[in-house]
Amino acid sequence: MASNDKTGTPPFSRRDFIRSVATASCGAAISGLSGFGCGGDDTEIPPSDTLPTRPLGQTGFRASILGMGGVYLTDGSETQIMAVLDRALELGINYFDTAANYGEGESERRLGKWLRKLQDAGRRSDIFVTTKSDDRGYDDSARQIEASLRHLQSDSVDMILVHGVGNLDTWADVSGPSGSLQAIKAAKEDGRARFVGISGHRDPRVLLRAIEEYPFDCVLCPLGITDRIHVPFVRDLLPTLLGKNLGIIGMKVFAEGHLPDVNANLERCLHYSLSLPSATSIVGMSSLPQVEQNVAWVRSLVEMTQEQMDELASEIAQIIDLEALWWKS
């Protein structure tokens, strides 16, 4: 299990970000936000052969600022994906994401085979692994968690997320006495999971309600450049997450392939997400060239200014069809 609990410095950048948002009116446009740093004092800059890390909330783990998304681990051959995971770890990626419903468990199965190799090599504690449960009832989620652990070839996992909570009715279902959150809490209580998180794609207000009603350790939400354009989690949720010192995981960095499709500048899009005060941004990668390119872009990162963020958002707004993004429609 992951345990790289290096002591971080005080979260100056978090306070700066919260202060900057607090000075704006509730109706202010995102472009009204003042600038904030790329992790600030929270970011640990390592030697050039690995990646910067930031604290994953209060978990004690320092996550690489680029994480491995799990949805595309089902693409290509198993041999190819084993090579992708090996290279990602070699280059410094230490946060690995998957979910029970990715490829009907195939993402977990492939990741599990790789985890067994890491376990045998004594390196399992070097990484942090998160899976997710999208079943809504206690019994179904409990069965899903057991299946996930079998797929991952593990007795336990670092974190399990309540996955894809899109509206308040769903939150009421999963958080009720017979809901899936109770099954995930039970997994934490008996040691099958160290931490509990939640993910949501559509509405920041749902996650705001959830984190007020349950002490989640981490939150996974859209923090790509398209988020800045419409229903922005960066404005409506991120300050609260920072104030609670939760582990923040960004997703939809490349808008599920829509940004490459419109020939967006992907390096700048990645730099946007990495310039936010989140712990890590997960990107799905299924080939060695993708891993090499994304890591190269991380290493070329120069903190984006507020003006550069606004400029990029304006450019993307002109070329992207928001209605094609299911989580924005």
The DSSP annotation for 230-293 comes to SS-HHHHTHHHHHHTT-EEEEE-TTGGGHHHHTT--HHHHHHHHHTSS-SEEEEE--SHHHHHH
Q: Which residues contact 82 (CB under 8 A, 6 or more apart)?
A: 110, 113, 114
Average pLDDT over residues 245-267: 96
> Closest Cα to residue 44, out of 97, 84, 16, 4?
4
If one compares 47 and 216, the residue with the highest pLDDT of the two is: 216
- Where do the structural domains in the chain lie, given as residue ranges? 12-24+32-317
CA separation for the pair 305, 290 (Å, rounded): 26
* pLDDT tens track for 58-93: 999 999 999 999 999 999 999 999 999 999 999 999
Is the pLDDT at 29 greater than 60, yes or no? no
Confidence of residue 10 (pLDDT cuts 50, 70, 90): very low
Please tell me the predicted confidence (pLDDT) of residue 43.
75
CA separation for the pair 307, 290 (Å, rounded): 28
Please tell me the predicted confidence (pLDDT) of residue 275.
97
For 12-24+32-317, CATH number?
3.20.20.100
Please report, rounded to a whole number, the percentage of residues in the chain having pLDDT higher than 90: 82
> Closest Cα to residue 217, out of 167, 174, 279, 155?
279
Is the pLDDT at 17 greater than 60, yes or no? no
Please tell me the predicted confidence (pLDDT) of residue 328.
80
Task: Point out which residues pair with 281 in neighbouring strands.
Answer: 66, 250
Question: Amino acid identity, residue 312?
Answer: L
In whole angstroms, how large is the CA radius of gyration of the chain? 18
pTM over 0.95: no
- DSSP state at residue 152: T
Please count the residues of the chain.
Answer: 329
